[in-house]
């Protein structure tokens, strides 16, 4: 496949390495320094775009790709207020859009474990909270992965109405503590605490390779499809 990389930071470079190892060709590498090249790329030169840019750039990048007829795999977080518009444009153009807050297979299994635990805890005397730790270059907080985890808890427990980023606290919301430390790829901890004990589940990434591999596999899977998709479609929608 001819893969266009939108965003060429550490994740973009990791995706490039894995894509080349899997026999793909890199049709272009677009970042803030060469945005003008995106508009002039011939439509036929790209089979799929993989977008890991920045929250402020994601919407425009994805919109342009869909208008050019390119399927898009996106992992950028912090822009999801506009996701509905992108899904509408995907339908209008007969295109393909794949979004995940995290492409790691392990994290997506963790999402399912989180929902199972939330279901078990629904009527138990435990208070739920979350902590996420990422590298100092991550600009959005909480992480998209933490938001997905909190949404999973909300879906399984009708008493939970949403999430709040500490130090702000809201009643019936999952409090999330976001820390930025060094070059940490990503750690997420879900805690249930009662007066007598504490129960925790956690996921710790050791590198960006798992995220990058998942994004390339999603791009391979997306080619030739139409519609809006996510990791449940790729892995099978069972919990």
CATH number, residue 129: 3.30.360.10
189 membership: H or E segment, kind and range = strand 187-193
Contact 122, 157 (CB under 8 A): yes
Q: Give pLDDT, residue 239.
A: 47
Residues 17, 73 within the same domain: yes
Residues 89, 118 within the same domain: no
Q: Domain count of the chain?
A: 2
Residues 98, 114 within the same domain: no
Question: Average of pLDDT values for 38-51?
Answer: 93
pLDDT at residue 14 tops 60: yes
pLDDT (tens digit per residue) in 183-232: 898 999 999 999 999 999 999 989 888 889 999 999 999 999 999 999 98
29 annotated as ligand-binding: yes
In whole angstroms, how far apart are CA 182 and each of 48, 134, 185, 231, 235?
A: 32, 8, 9, 28, 32
Q: Give pLDDT, residue 35.
A: 85
* Other beta carbons within 10 Å of 148: 21
Contact 220, 213 (CB under 8 A): no
pLDDT at residue 30 tops 80: yes
Residues 140, 230 within the same domain: no
Question: Average of pLDDT values for 161-173?
Answer: 95
Q: CA–CA separation, 15 vs 60, rounded Å?
A: 21
Q: Confidence band (pLDDT; 50, 70, 90) for 78?
A: confident
Q: CA–CA separation, 212 vs 191, rounded Å?
A: 28
> What pTM, to 2 d.p., does this model score?
0.78
pLDDT at residue 85 tops 90: yes
Q: Give pLDDT, residue 120.
A: 96
93 annotated as ligand-binding: no
Residues 213, 165 within the same domain: no
Q: Give pLDDT, residue 139.
A: 82
**Contacts for 167-175: CB closer than 8 Å, 24+ residues apart:** 174/128, 174/129, 174/130, 174/150, 175/129, 175/130
In sequence order, what E strands does 56-172 have? 72-74, 96-99, 127-134, 162-165
Question: Average of pLDDT values for 3-20?
Answer: 95
28 annotated as ligand-binding: no
Question: Average of pLDDT values for 103-127?
Answer: 94
90 annotated as ligand-binding: no
Q: Give pLDDT, residue 225.
A: 96
In whole angstroms, how far apart are CA 150 and each of 56, 156, 215?
A: 23, 10, 22
The count of C-alpha atoms lying within 13 angstroms of the C-alpha of 181, restricted to the half-sphere facing its C-beta, is 9
101 annotated as ligand-binding: yes
Say which of 24, 134, 188, 203 is annotated catalytic: 134
**Neighbour-count burial of 107, counting CB atoms closer than 10 A to its CB (0-12 exposed, 13-18 middle, 19+ buried):** buried
Q: CA–CA separation, 106 vs 210, rounded Å?
A: 8
Say which of 13, 63, 122, 138 is annotated catalytic: 138
Contact 6, 53 (CB under 8 A): yes
Residues 135, 223 within the same domain: no
Q: Give pLDDT, residue 237.
A: 62
Residues 149, 231 within the same domain: no
148 annotated as ligand-binding: no
Residues 119, 145 within the same domain: yes
Residues 141, 177 within the same domain: yes
Residues 99, 152 within the same domain: no
Q: Give pLDDT, residue 38.
A: 87
Q: Give pLDDT, residue 138.
A: 87
Which of helix, strand or coil describes residue 138? coil
Q: CA–CA separation, 202 vs 60, rounded Å?
A: 34
- Structure tokens belonging to residue 70: 């390119």
Residues 22, 71 within the same domain: yes
Place of tokens 């899904």: 87
**How much of the chain, in percent, has pLDDT values that exceed 70?**
99
Domain that holds residue 127: 105-204
**Strand partners of residue 48:** 3
206 tagged catalytic? no
Residues 90, 119 within the same domain: no
**How much of the chain, in percent, has pLDDT values that exceed 90?**
79
170 tagged catalytic? no
Query: Domain with 227 in it: what CATH number?
Result: 3.40.50.720
């Amino acid at each position: 496949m001819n893969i266009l990389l939108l965003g060429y930071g550490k994740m973009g470079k990791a995706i490039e390495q894995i894509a080349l190892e899997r026999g793909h060709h890199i049709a272009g590498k677009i970042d803030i320094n060469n945005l003008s090249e995106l508009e002039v790329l011939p439509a036929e030169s790209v089979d799929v775009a993989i977008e890991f840019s920045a929250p402020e750039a994601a919407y425009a990048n994805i919109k342009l790709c869909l208008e050019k007829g390119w399927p898009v795999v996106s992992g950028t977080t912090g822009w999801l207020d506009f996701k509905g518009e992108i899904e509408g444009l995907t339908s209008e153009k007969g295109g393909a859009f794949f979004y995940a807050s995290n492409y790691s297979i392990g994290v997506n299994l963790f999402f399912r474990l989180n929902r199972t635990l939330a279901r078990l805890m629904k009527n138990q005397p435990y208070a739920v909270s979350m902590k996420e730790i990422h590298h100092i270059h991550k600009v959005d907080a909480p992480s998209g992965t933490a938001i997905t985890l909190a949404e999973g808890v909300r879906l399984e427990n009708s008493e939970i109405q949403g999430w709040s980023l500490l130090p702000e606290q809201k009643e019936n919301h999952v409090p999330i503590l976001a820390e930025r430390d060094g070059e940490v790829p990503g750690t997420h901890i879900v805690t249930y605490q009662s007066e007598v004990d504490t129960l925790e589940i956690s996921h710790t990434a050791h590198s960006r390779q798992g995220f990058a591999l998942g994004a390339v596999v999603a791009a391979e899977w997306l080619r030739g499809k139409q519609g809006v998709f996510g990791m449940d479609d790729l892995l099978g929608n069972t919990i």
